[in-house]
Amino acid sequence: MSEMTNTGYRALLAQREALEKQIEALKNEERGDAIDWIREQMALYGMKPEDLAERRGRGPRKQSGPVAAKYRDPMSGATWSGRGRAPRWLADQDRDKFVIAD
C-alpha cells in the first residue's frame, strides 16, 4: 500500500509543478496585456508615472520655524508659546494674566 501512496503523491507533485509553470506563463502573458492597457489609459488621460505615487494626507506638510512666546511667568521668566501641553506654572490659572504684551 505504501508503494501506491508514494506513486500517487509523486504524481500530484508533478501535476502541481506543471500547473505552476502554466500559471506563471499565463500570468506573464496577461501582465504584458495589462501594461499595454495601463499605458493606453495613461495616454488617454494625460497622466505621468509620478501621478500614480501614493498621496498621504492633504499635501506636503508646511515647515514652520519656532513660534513666538505668548505667555510669561512673572516669577521665573519662563515662557510658553501656547502650543502643546501647558506648563505647570500656568496650569489651572487664568491665562490672560500671563499674556505677553507686544
Where in the chain are the domains? 2-52, 66-102
Q: Please give the DSSP secondary-structure letter assigned to residue 97.
A: G
DSSP 61: P
Is residue 91's pLDDT more than 60? yes
This model's pTM is above 0.85: no
DSSP assignment of 55-76 equals P-TTSSPPP--PPPP-EE-TTT
Report the C-alpha gap between 84 and 41 in whole angstroms: 47
Cβ-based neighbours of 25, under 8 Å, separated by 6 or more: none
| DSSP assigned state of 93 | S
Q: Which of 80, 83, 88, 84 is nearest to 98 (CA)?
A: 80
Q: Would you say residue 82 has pLDDT above 70? A: yes
Residue 59: the pLDDT is 65
Residue 41 has pLDDT above 60, yes or no: yes
Is the predicted pLDDT of residue 102 greater than 90, yes or no?
A: no
Decide if 74 contacts 80 (C-beta within 8 A): no
- Other Cβ atoms less than 10 A from the Cβ of 71: the count is 20
- Pull the grid cell for residue 47: 497622466
pLDDT of 5 reads: 60
pLDDT of res. 57: 66
pLDDT top residue among 18 and 52: 18
